[in-house]
Structure 1
């Protein structure tokens, strides 16, 4: 399932999230499924897991910033060992470059602000969310042969982060924190840098991200980096 969602991004247009957002913003969808648009906004910004959305995503907003607190859904493996992040906080600036999802959540949390601080919690049943996103995908892209699911948002965010690390806009450690991973190697299972929002204004920049557990550096990351450099060097000297 993960590989299928990862490869599905190559079949989608660069602005597929905007198209899904536009479809969900129609009066018909907002009246019939009022919880959907806030959930989509959280998926777009954070790439959180559907199970984390079901537990509840906490928002805190100020004048020009939004902080999202996510309680991790995968914190232990079958053997009881530590896995992932119990909690992570991601901060965003709501400036002129903020996309529709960020502006929506900032306004939603700020609607009941007290002394300039607004708070709210976004939650959505994960199974109902899956069915809704699949239906939205079919509505927005009727000719598309692949299925758009909530995990496509997670793979897209990972792709954006990989593109950002390639451009040195974010460290691999912060990318791991953003995704809620315990190791900086885990993001390799998600997305492709080639599918990231590069130079299109769609990449969301987070001014800070923090996690409950420190990120573990994997030696596999260094080996993979050396392999990529060697491969690039071989391609450069290959006779035409």
Structure 2
């Protein structure tokens, strides 16, 4: 594969595509070098002038191949062994060049650092969610209900299309959410449920709408892309001098609320609709915007959470305890 005169590092926009382009680049030039070696061996005795030209071409392809030369710190044999051992242990092998792409694109300034919604959320001012909602309310936005639900529930924008049911709980001042998860496996649809009590503008608006609609609202087939665009447009009216806010910023802020409420890892994963507790490292744990006004309970999910991180932590603790016990016994 020829990348329109671009090297893999120039063509890639992520680590994943970089590894794909890198492998294609190496394979392309190795094949040319292999073919040229056969040609050189055949014509050296018969056509010296052509042989010299082919040697120059060979030097070119070797130079191109050196752009993506193997990591000198890792031998190929060792990489193959590690790859095999990872597969044997039932784990997904990691690329050996984990940081290579990020280091190069930053050093060569080929592309900007990826936009992190978590970092963006943590740098937003206090009460930014109330500010955006107030603008949506003042401008009578047709997406105001969807925005209120995303702020209060932390749902994914796509889940507005799948289905979000909102209703008044038996306890006064509490709203219950039931969300059809956007992350589907096969035909199974995970449903997560929880109830919250909040004092935010979005919560109070949602509560009033429920009172006017016999205590229940069903959001389904919402044009979530249009709602997402509206959130970005409204955020620009705040004059924050930052990139437009994404609905996923609501989700990251909701994650911060969950941590502020001191929920455990399993409860947080259920509220966010995660199948494993591993993914929490990608979500905000900042309680900067959580002032204790948020209360959550009655957390349920139709699918269990795989506690992978907790299992690893417990194993590490056990190993450390066993190691410490061994040291003590030697003494």
* TM-score range for the pair, normalised by the shorter chain length: 0.7 to 0.9
The answer to which structure, 1 or 2, has the higher relative contact order (CA under 8 A, 6+ apart) is 1
Q: Is the aligned partner of 1:128 residue 2:242?
A: no
1-side partners of 2:279 and 2:237: how far apart?
Answer: 33
The one of 237, 259, 262 equivalent to 1:162 is 259
**Matching residue of 1:18:** 130
**Matching residue of 1:234:** none
Q: Is the aligned partner of 1:70 residue 2:182?
A: no
The unaligned stretches of length 5 or more in structure 1 are 231-240
Aligned residue pair count: 203
**Matching residue of 1:90:** 194
2-side partners of 1:143 and 1:206: how far apart?
Answer: 30
The unaligned stretches of length 5 or more in structure 2 are 1-112, 321-331
1-side partners of 2:208 and 2:311: how far apart?
Answer: 39
The one of 104, 120, 127 equivalent to 1:8 is 120
Task: Tell me which structure has the larger Cα radius of gyration.
Answer: 2
- Indicate conservation of the 8 Å contact 1:9/1:195, yes or no: no
2-side partners of 1:15 and 1:224: how far apart?
Answer: 37
- Indicate conservation of the 8 Å contact 1:182/1:216, yes or no: yes
Displacement of 1:66 after TM fit?
1.6
2-side partners of 1:188 and 1:224: how far apart?
Answer: 17
Q: Cα distance 1:136–1:221, how it changes in 2: closer, same or farther (>3 A)?
A: farther
Structure having the larger proportion of residues in helix:
2
The one of 142, 147, 155 equivalent to 2:244 is 147
- Indicate conservation of the 8 Å contact 1:184/1:221, yes or no: no
Normalised to the residue count of structure 1, the TM-score between the two structures is 0.74
Q: Cα distance 1:194–1:120, how it changes in 2: closer, same or farther (>3 A)?
A: closer
Q: Is the aligned partner of 1:194 residue 2:306?
A: no
2-side partners of 1:128 and 1:2: how far apart?
Answer: 23
Give the secondary structure class of the aligned counterpart of 1:54. helix
C-alpha distance after superposition, 1:32-87 (max 9, x if no partner): x32x21111111111100000122311121451321110011122xxx598xx711
Give the secondary structure class of the aligned counterpart of 1:49. coil
Give the secondary structure class of the aligned counterpart of 2:117. helix
Q: Cα distance 1:185–1:163, how it changes in 2: closer, same or farther (>3 A)?
A: farther
C-alpha distance after superposition, 1:106-134 (max 9, x if no partner): 22122132xxxx22113431110121001
The one of 193, 203, 208 equivalent to 1:107 is 208
- Indicate conservation of the 8 Å contact 2:278/2:307, yes or no: yes
How well do the aligned residues superpose, as a CA RMSD in angstroms? Answer: 2.8
**Matching residue of 1:52:** 159
Q: Cα distance 1:148–1:219, how it changes in 2: closer, same or farther (>3 A)?
A: closer
